[in-house]
A and B are shown apart, each in its own frame.
Chain A
Amino acid sequence: MGGKSALELLEGRQPRVLACDDSEVNLAMVTRVLERGAFHVTRAHSGEEVLETVERQPFDLVLIDINLPGINGIDVCRKLREQQTSRVYLPIIMLTANTEKHARVTALQAGATDFITKPFNPDELLARIHNHIAAKRLHDHLFTMNQILEEEQAKVFKVQTGLLPASFPTVDGLRFGGAYKPFSMAGGDFYDAFERPDGTIILAISDISGHGIPAAMHMSTLRATLHSEADAGADLITIMERLNRILCYCLDPYSFVTFYLATFNPQTGELIHTCAGHHPPLLHDLESNVIKEIPVPITIPMGVDLEEFEPKCSTHQIMPGQRLYLYTDGIIEQRDRAGNFFEMAGLTVTLKSHLQSHVEFIPSLIMATLEKYLEGRDQSDDLTMLVMETPKDAPDKE
Chain B
Amino acid sequence: MELVFEGNDEKLNVKVIGDIVADSAGELRESILQLLSRKPEEICLDLAEMPFIDTSGLGVLIGLRTHLKKHSVKLTIINPQDRVLHVFRLTQISKLFGME
1/0 per position for B33-60, CB-CB distance to A under 8 A? 0000000000000000000101110111
Contacting B at CB under 8 A, from A182-213, are 207, 209-210
3 closest residue pairs by CB, A with B: A254-B63, A277-B91, A209-B55
1/0 per position for A293-304, CB-CB distance to B under 8 A? 000001111001
1/0 per position for A255-270, CB-CB distance to B under 8 A? 1101000000000000
Asked if residues A256 and B96 are in contact (CB atoms below 8 Å), the reply is no
Q: A300-B92, A300-B93, A305-B96 are in contact. Are A381 and B54 (CB under 8 A)?
A: yes
Closest to A333 in B: B54
Asked if residues B54 and A308 are in contact (CB atoms below 8 Å), the reply is no
- What are 14 A-to-B residue pairs whose CB atoms are below 8 Å? A207-B55, A210-B59, A252-B63, A253-B62, A253-B63, A253-B66, A254-B64, A256-B55, A256-B59, A298-B91, A300-B92, A301-B92, A304-B62, A333-B52
Q: How far is the CA of A255 from the CA of B67 in the complex (A)?
A: 13
Asked if residues A308 and B95 are in contact (CB atoms below 8 Å), the reply is yes
Asked if residues B21 and A258 are in contact (CB atoms below 8 Å), the reply is no
Q: Hey, which chain A residues are within 8 Å of B52, CB to CB?
A: 333
Residues of B within 8 A of A (CB): 21, 29, 52, 54-56, 58-60, 62-64, 66-67, 87, 90-93, 95-96
Taking a contact as CB atoms closer than 8 A, the residue among B29, B87, B90, B96 that contacts A254 in the complex is B29
How many contacting A-B pairs (Cβ < 8 A)? 60
Indicate if A380 sits at the interface (CB-CB under 8 A): yes
Closest to B96 in A: A300
Q: How far is the CA of A224 from the CA of B98 in the complex (A)?
A: 34
Q: How far is the CA of A44 from the CA of B92 in the complex (A)?
A: 73
Asked if residues A301 and B93 are in contact (CB atoms below 8 Å), the reply is yes
Q: A253-B63, A298-B90 are in contact. Are A380 and B96 (CB under 8 A)?
A: no
Q: How far is the CA of A298 from the CA of B86 in the complex (A)?
A: 13
Indicate if A137 sits at the interface (CB-CB under 8 A): no
Q: Hey, which chain B residues are within 8 Å of A304, CB to CB?
A: 62, 66, 96
Asked if residues B92 and A277 are in contact (CB atoms below 8 Å), the reply is yes
Beyond A254-B64, A278-B91, A300-B93, 5 additional pairs, beta carbon < 8 A? A210-B59, A255-B63, A276-B92, A279-B90, A381-B55
Indicate if A329 sits at the interface (CB-CB under 8 A): yes
Chain A interface mostly: loop
Closest to B57 in A: A209
Residues of A within 8 A of B (CB): 207, 209-210, 252-256, 258, 276-279, 298-301, 304-305, 308, 329, 333, 380-381
Asked if residues B56 and A380 are in contact (CB atoms below 8 Å), the reply is no
Taking a contact as CB atoms closer than 8 A, the residue among A254, A256, A298, A380 that contacts B54 in the complex is A380
Asked if residues B93 and A253 are in contact (CB atoms below 8 Å), the reply is no
Asked if residues A253 and B67 are in contact (CB atoms below 8 Å), the reply is yes
Asked if residues A329 and B66 are in contact (CB atoms below 8 Å), the reply is no
Q: Hey, which chain B residues are within 8 Å of A301, CB to CB?
A: 62, 91-93
> Nearest Cβ in chain B — how far from A252, in angstroms?
8
Taking a contact as CB atoms closer than 8 A, the residue among A210, A279, A305 that contacts B55 in the complex is A210
Q: How far is the CA of A305 from the CA of B91 in the complex (A)?
A: 14
Q: Hey, which chain A residues are within 8 Å of B90, CB to CB?
A: 277, 279, 298
Closest to B26 in A: A254
Asked if residues B92 and A329 are in contact (CB atoms below 8 Å), the reply is no
> Nearest Cβ in chain A — how far from B80, in angstroms?
16
Q: How far is the CA of A308 from the CA of B66 in the complex (A)?
A: 13
Q: Hey, which chain B residues are within 8 Å of A209, CB to CB?
A: 55-56, 58-59
> Nearest Cβ in chain A — how far from B71, in angstroms?
13
Asked if residues A254 and B92 are in contact (CB atoms below 8 Å), the reply is no
Q: A254-B29, A254-B63 are in contact. Are A298 and B92 (CB under 8 A)?
A: yes
> Nearest Cβ in chain B — how far from A242, in angstroms?
19
Taking a contact as CB atoms closer than 8 A, the residue among A254, A279, A300, A381 that contacts B59 in the complex is A254
Q: How far is the CA of A299 from the CA of B66 in the complex (A)?
A: 18
Asked if residues A258 and B91 are in contact (CB atoms below 8 Å), the reply is yes
Closest to A309 in B: B92
Q: Hey, which chain B residues are within 8 Å of A380, CB to CB?
A: 21, 54
Asked if residues B93 and A254 are in contact (CB atoms below 8 Å), the reply is no
> Nearest Cβ in chain A — how far from B47, in angstroms?
17
Asked if residues A255 and B92 are in contact (CB atoms below 8 Å), the reply is no
Q: Hey, which chain B residues are within 8 Å of A253, CB to CB?
A: 62-63, 66-67
Asked if residues B96 and A308 are in contact (CB atoms below 8 Å), the reply is yes
Closest to A252 in B: B63
Q: Hey, which chain B residues are within 8 Å of A252, CB to CB?
A: 63
Taking a contact as CB atoms closer than 8 A, the residue among B56, B66, B95 that contacts A300 in the complex is B95
Q: How far is the CA of A125 from the CA of B62 in the complex (A)?
A: 59
Asked if residues A256 and B21 are in contact (CB atoms below 8 Å), the reply is no
